[in-house]
Amino acid sequence: MVVKVRTTGEPGVARMVGFQLLNYMQGFSEAYGIFAAPYLGDRGRQICTYQVYYDIANVT
């Protein structure tokens, strides 16, 4: 697992973290990218479609 933790889940941050995770994971064929933030809105979750995200405010 590769986890990126940020203090915000705004769409621009989610997009940047997604690209960072994809680039980093290219060298690890079995790695999972996870983005953790206090809150991810609908747009942030849509951007993270190909990564796993952890929305602390909406844990289910």
What confidence score (pLDDT) does residue 6 get? 93
Give the Cβ contact number of residue 18 at 10 Å. 20
Contact call for residues 8 and 38 (beta carbons, < 8 A): yes
Q: Which residues span the domain enclosing 34?
A: 2-58
User: Nearest CA to 58 among 18, 9, 13, 19?
Assistant: 9
Q: In this predicted structure, what is the pLDDT of residue 50?
A: 60
Q: Which pLDDT score is estimated for 53? A: 61
Q: Tell me what pLDDT residue 51 has.
A: 60
Q: Residue-wise pLDDT tens for the chain (60 aa)?
A: 888 999 998 999 998 998 888 888 888 878 888 888 898 888 888 887 766 565 666 654
Structural domain total, the chain: 1
Residue 52 has a pLDDT of: 58
The DSSP-derived string for 15-51 is: HHHHHHHHHHHTT-TT--EEEEES---HHHHHHTTTS
